[in-house]
Chain A
Amino acid sequence: MKQMKLTRIMGLLLVSAIAAAMMAACSSADPEVIIQTVVVDRAVAVKGDTVVQTVVVEVKGDTVIQEVQGDTVVETVVVEVKGDRIVQTVVVNATAAPEVETFFGLPLPVVPDDVGTAPAPKSASGTIEVRAGLELRLSGLPEEGGGLGSSITEKMFTTDVGGNAVDLLAESWELASDLSSVTITLRDDVEFHGGFGAMTADDVVWSYNRGNPGTNPESATDGGSNWISFLGENLVTAVDSKTVKFTIATFDPRWQTLLLGQSGLNLGVHSKAAFDQKGEDWARENLIGTGPYSVTNYQRDDVMELAAVEGHYRITPDAKIYIARSIPDEAVAEAALKTGAVDISQVPLRNMTAMQKAGFVTVSAGAGSFHSISFSGNYWESEHFIDGTPLDNSFGNGTFKDSPWMGRNDGEHEEEMENARLVRTALSLAIDRDLISEVLFAGAAWPNYVYGADINNPNWQEKWATPYDTKLAGEMLDQAGYPLVDGTRFEMPFFIRIGRGDEEIGTAVVGMWRELGIDMQEWKAQYQTYRPNLVGRTAVAPWIHSAGAESPQAPWDWPVMGNSECSRGRGGFNIGIEIKELCDFYVAMSAEGDIAKRNELRNANVEFLAHWMPVIGTVARPNVALANPNKLLSWDMPLNIREAAYHHPEFIKLVK
């Protein structure tokens, strides 16, 4: 038995030895010495691009192998002359680098290669069903917001695909040379839904005066501070039946593209006749506009059904029926997409790739979002910006020395101001923005360092960035007088707003700041819980939000801040800070007619924010929805800076 085993082992060894000898013989018979491997790692923009490589060879007969990274060997050249310097021209057969899809300058998630098949849609032909979140709101009263962009109620202007303002309800307009008013002549072929007659100047006057919080304190329309700033307490007036005059309180270069245009501010023209005939209660629940869709069924926070208006003056929608359904839970929304129960839905960006692989296509859903952190409590104004009345900042009693992120800008606490600046900068340096993007948004988000300033904008300057550097952050905190003692530097409350992605980012930031030695006391709740502190000017806990500055796509020369960051927006100083300089920038930019000069002012504004950091950025992200390609052929939405959800369904093209 033992002998047999020994024989078997010996045999195996013999066979192995023969095999090894044969391999050695073969390799020595045809030696291929690779002296240099040229890796072409240049991004090839176009397939078939020509790449020129210079190769210096040492030995005649050597083989030079050209490789393309991620591709196979393209060409093997046997060198004829020893020591020659040869130049080879190689045509690279690499696949072209994938073009990054963008939406008005911002990158969108890359489409994966292995895409599956989306389910057959369950919605009827000519109908499209989209998912809304928890809230699904419409109101027939201008002061409560209109609805769905310019599709139900319309505005004076809209934007074209290039983001330029074009007339919508306006037929023509004239801006006073001193920028004190704008007179708009209205189209005369616009009819309200439901047989409520033609639109007249009275409807426009009634709608804007009810919507402007300056003329109607009970107005809850979006962007109240913008309206207050733009129109103040000035009433819109009718010059004649088809001409209206807007008297401007503070000129804003966005008057046409944002305030009286687009749909983000959500104040459109409603039917005064419907209100007069049916009363306020009826009007509240029955939105009568002039857009290409009319409301046929609306159950608040449940369902909204719209029907295309036949023979509309500007467009006849391809989707005859548009249904939005409220599905609060994101996982259920994904399930609804996967079963074909809805045709379009927003899903968390981290799930985007998986859903694309399941066959769904991305639809850009409006403007992207910034996620910023306000270092609340930095109320640096001592008197009101407009009327000069003293501002009471007594809430700060005893909080400054315990709140290292806050400083008093009264000229008597310069060291405190500088130390607080160092603290805020250190906290910004301690945020790993790339990690947040990678983990929470599957790489689809990108870093945002300065409040309201996007790194994709051509005007962005790298010197404003605070890249991740915990060592430097620690040194800055030491310098500011907050050394690490028993693992802790200081305690900090932190309000995390639930929803809109702030919760996940805020939680990640808390972890990163804890690693820096900050004793974080986080508090997660709905915005409404924190809001009384903002309105009451008592907010001192830093908080994360996506409020204030406009979206990353906003043009650089727009005066995007100054209404929510200082005392101009009286009654609610909004994001927990009051800084006069930000108002100054707003006023200066608003009054400046030259775009180049506005850009310079914006640069100075960003410089100021990058230095003082009263608000810091975390990440910015696109607003993307997923659609079933078996239903949706295309949806060319114009850019609406203030609009977060998909909009303008009149531009939907359905698969036939």
Chain B
Amino acid sequence: MKNFLARRLIFSLLSLIVASMAVFGLAHAKEDPINLFIQPGYFISPETLGALKAKWGLDKPLALQYLTWAGNMLRGDLGDSVQQSRPVTRILGEKWGATAKLALVAWIFGTVTGVPFGIISALKRGSATDYFVRGFALFGQSLPAFWVGLVGIWIFAVYLGWLPVFGSGAGLPFFEQVKYYVLPVLVLGWGPMAGYMRITRSAMLEVLDSEYIVLARAKGVSNSVVVWKHALRNALIQPLTIATLLLAGFLDGAVLVEVIFAWPGVGRVAVEAVNQNDFMLITGTVFLFTFLFLFMSLVADLLYTIVDPRIRYS
């Protein structure tokens, strides 16, 4: 068990280092980033240019720049945004709350709808209900989020007038604010919900076909006990462990949804940083996303060991 955990931790750290090198390298790949920020019309002397480069740490070799950046990062300093002249950690901190709230609600929505749909689909295998639920899941996984978002806005906000068009409703009373979450959560959660549903369904089908379930039925155990006590417990191992990865996916994957719904979160910051080629903000944002994903992967591994003793003892 300890070996397993140590191995996972080392792999996570290595992944983080490689990812940070890739992110940092790509942000500097085009050419000297200082060229992005020299304003047209400068009377720029070599001394001034040198001072500007020194300010941004661009006067050092790339490897040294990376090490400096990584060292600062370990101390929680992701540098200053070149466009905003503010600490990246502060910018991300300001926007993090909105993204986290949206991701969490979408995650809960995906989980509480996807898992039951998967169970129903498995129990009604081959029925019209099964086909309907699977078809619904297929659409959820194949339709692009931006398209679903726009169509949702036109149907539910413009024509029906039930929901607001954009924004997070920040500052409004709770029940007013709920309306602002409905469309973004549906758009963000539909695809992952479908993923949950499919995984739960296949896990349930596998368990329902297993010998111990056949034995339980042969012994006369009632259907509800077979399904809810024996089958579901075992079938839930997989969906519950991937739930952590899905949460990370929600946190990282809200970029398009945030842009469509003008949601003031980290995703919007990421888009704007790329548009502005703000390399410090890009590296900071991507590093945050990478860290979250690796952290959630580690949590998923730990959950596996808790819910599946075979991993602990292997």
Contacts and interface: CB of A to CB of B under 8 A. Distances in A.
B44 interface: yes
A300 B40 contact: no
A335 interface: yes
B158 A339 contact: yes
A215 to B, nearest CB: 10
Contact of A572 (B42, B154, B268): B42
Given A284-B86, A326-B262, A328-B259, A225 B41 contact: yes
Contacts of A335: 153-154, 157-158, 165-166
Interface string A526-563: 10110110111000000000000000000000000001
A574 B40 contact: yes
A528 B36 contact: yes
B157 A228 contact: no
A564 B41 CA distance: 8
Contacts of A564: 40
Contact of B262 (A325, A339, A573): A325
B192 interface: no
Interface in A201-229: 213-214, 217-221, 223-229
A213 B277 contact: no
Interface string B149-172: 010011001100100111100000
Contact of B42 (A217, A299, A536): A217
Interface string A330-367: 01100110110100000000000000000000000000
Given A329-B259, A339-B158, A134 B39 contact: no
Interface string B3-39: 0000000000000000000000000001110011111
Mostly, the B contact residues are loop
Given A134-B272, A218-B52, A335-B158, A535 B277 contact: no
Nearest to B161: A339
Given A226-B41, A338-B158, A531-B36, A217 B262 contact: no
**B38, B40, B154, B277 — most chain A CB neighbours (10 Å):** B40
B43 A571 contact: yes
A570 B38 CA distance: 10
B contact residues, range: 35 or more
Contact of A213 (B42, B94, B150): B42
A228 B272 contact: no
Interface string A559-592: 0000110000111111000000000000000000
B275 A528 contact: yes
A134 B267 CA distance: 12
B41 A327 contact: no
A301 interface: yes
B91 to A, nearest CB: 8
A569 B38 CA distance: 12
Contacts of A570: 41-44
Contact of B84 (A224, A300, A339, A572): A300
Given A228-B42, A303-B264, A331-B153, 15 more contacts: A134-B272, A213-B42, A225-B40, A225-B41, A301-B269, A325-B167, A326-B262, A329-B150, A339-B158, A341-B164, A528-B277, A532-B30, A535-B35, A535-B36, A569-B41
28 contacts: A134-B259, A134-B271, A144-B85, A219-B39, A220-B39, A223-B41, A224-B40, A224-B41, A224-B42, A226-B41, A229-B41, A301-B264, A325-B166, A325-B167, A331-B150, A339-B158, A526-B275, A528-B36, A528-B275, A531-B35, A532-B31, A532-B35, A535-B35, A564-B40, A570-B43, A572-B39, A572-B41, A574-B40
